[in-house]
Chains A and B, each alone.
Chain A
Amino acid sequence: MLKGQAHIMEYVLLSFFILLVIFLIVFFLMGWQIGTTSSRQSILREQRASFLLRAFSNSPHLNKEGFTEGGMLEDSKLTVLECSDLEELLGKNVFAEVRILDSISECTQEGYPRCGVWTFCKREDKNFIAYDTPVNVYRTLTRDVEIGILTVGFYE
């Protein structure tokens, strides 16, 4: 009787271990899939930020006519651009900043053209993804070209 019970226990233990191994494999594979999905999400976010940067720097709304590729942002267009315009063109929760090198004064219509920083839709939120790139900025009134840094991203 006891021998029979011991045999049954052996079988139960054996099947328990087999199932354990199977479930471990299942969990490992599911975990790997979840990891792949979350890395895909992260790639998508980076892809969006990269697209926003290129879309802003090439936008026909903000570039000087005749400089179609590579971008030549026009300071007069940047000065009149508002956050609502940017949201209409690129979507919600997007922000952008153009900063002429060594410039600190924020551009407003009153201060124009003696200024070199334009910011759109920026807020204190630290949770964002953004990229930056050097851009040409055309000074419409003086007809000079200056180098600026364009930062475009979105809040998550």
Chain B
Amino acid sequence: MISVMQIFKIIFGIVLSVFILMIILRFSSSYWEIGESGKEVEILMGMKKTIEDVHTTGISMDFDMGSEDLIYLYSPPDLVTSVMDVNIDPVTLLLVPGKTISIHREEYDIGWWRFRFVYALPETRILFAPLDTAESRSDLVWNSVGNITRYLPSTENTETKVRFGVGCNDTGDRQTYFFLDWEGDYFIRTVLTYLLLEGYEFVPCRGMEGYRIVTVSETPVDAGFQVVPFDSEIGYVYVNYMNESPGSYLYKNPLDIISVLLGGEKFYDYLNGKFLKELSVASSLASREANLLRTKSNRQECDPIHSRFVQILGSLRNGIDEWDYRDEDDMRELSLRIRQSSETYEELEEMGC
């Protein structure tokens, strides 16, 4: 016969055990989550530091994120993750999430100032479809291909690659791709030159898994991502993917094209915002510096050039506040001012001012 005391012991034991077990389970699951989050925070901190190191040193590096899903999305300048948002400012970053990314610094040089930005890209393959004929080669088309490649990272020193190819050539039902998987420098130096001289002709490519296809032609055609150059500087990017609403973006330099290619409208707006803001600060600084040197320097022959430089930079800076980077006339004006300022700066350099 079980006594009352024994019944009490059993019930008390069961209640206590369940209670302790619940505490331990709850705590251990929270602790495990905290541990996992801690690991993710460490990875994100490491990535931010690597990006900053690459930005300041210019030495390219690979970075292993451990998981493809660590970054939900990159909404510049914030990396959105499950544990925290990482603000990447003041570095200008074009990032495409991936398990392993290679980080590179690039510069857009306008002579008296360089716009510095960083790429963080997973394994990427870009396939150009330059549409012209062998009889009438289009310099605009082929120069655009070269310029886009030039401003994408050269990945010779990293494990994670950005590779380039050219296509396509339709032979019946099958689509043929030429010259896939080349490194950027070799692609510009050898492959593009060879194709240009040998008179290859290409047709628009159909979609291909793992490739970003860039169609370049002087007139718009039906393509997912198309670059239509108007002249050596300005043109339009047309985006018309099946699952997205179509869009058109004015470009004034290859960086605009690359930003749309890697991150669509979000990257396009972000990069233009950063570029114009930094250009405004740079032109203001350069203008004040030229004024200072004009008043302090004893070299009278430098005076008129310094004055001209100040004037051009002043109009450039005023224009940046008013111009719209989606307006063709405004951006033609911007390109003109930048070109004039670079030429005047060269004059100053040549005269040793």
Contact = CB atoms under 8 A, between A and B. Distances in A.
Contacts of A61: 113, 278, 281-282, 285
Interface in B76-100: 89-90
Interface residues of B, number: 44
A44 B44 CA distance: 11
B282 A141 contact: no
Contacts of B349: 65
Contacts of A85: 281, 284-285
Contacts of A69: 57-58
B289 A89 contact: no
B282 to A, nearest CB: 6
Given A22-B20, A60-B114, A112 B296 contact: yes
A26 B285 contact: no
Contacts of B48: 47
B58 to A, nearest CB: 7
B278 A51 contact: no
A77 interface: yes
B9 interface: yes
* Overall SS of chain B's interface: helix
Contacts of B281: 61, 85, 88-89
Interface stretch (B23-31, B171-179, B215-223, B323-331): B23-31
A80 B296 CA distance: 13
Interface in A71-104: 76-77, 79-81, 85, 88-91
Contact of B289 (A54, A55, A76): A76
Given A44-B45, A89-B90, A54 B113 contact: no
B5 A7 contact: yes
B68 to A, nearest CB: 24
A68 interface: yes
Nearest to B12: A11
Contacts of B291: 80
Interface SS, A side: helix
A66 B5 CA distance: 90
B56 A54 contact: yes
B49 A141 contact: no
A89 B292 contact: no
A8 interface: yes
B180 interface: no
B293 A76 contact: yes
B112 interface: yes
B9 to A, nearest CB: 7
Given A47-B49, A77-B289, A91 B89 contact: yes
B285 A81 contact: yes
A29 B31 contact: yes
**Most B Cβ at <10 Å: residue of A8, A15, A81, A90:** A15
B277 interface: yes
B90 A11 contact: no
B116 interface: yes
A109 B90 contact: no
Given A55-B56, A112-B296, 18 more contacts: A11-B12, A29-B27, A33-B38, A40-B45, A47-B48, A51-B49, A51-B56, A55-B55, A60-B113, A61-B282, A61-B285, A65-B112, A68-B58, A76-B293, A80-B288, A85-B285, A89-B281, A91-B90
24 contacts: A4-B4, A15-B12, A18-B20, A22-B20, A22-B23, A33-B38, A40-B45, A44-B45, A54-B52, A54-B56, A55-B90, A58-B57, A60-B114, A61-B113, A65-B112, A68-B58, A69-B58, A79-B292, A85-B281, A90-B90, A91-B90, A112-B296, A140-B293, A141-B297
4 pairs of A and B residues whose beta carbons are closest in the complex = A80-B288, A54-B56, A60-B114, A51-B52
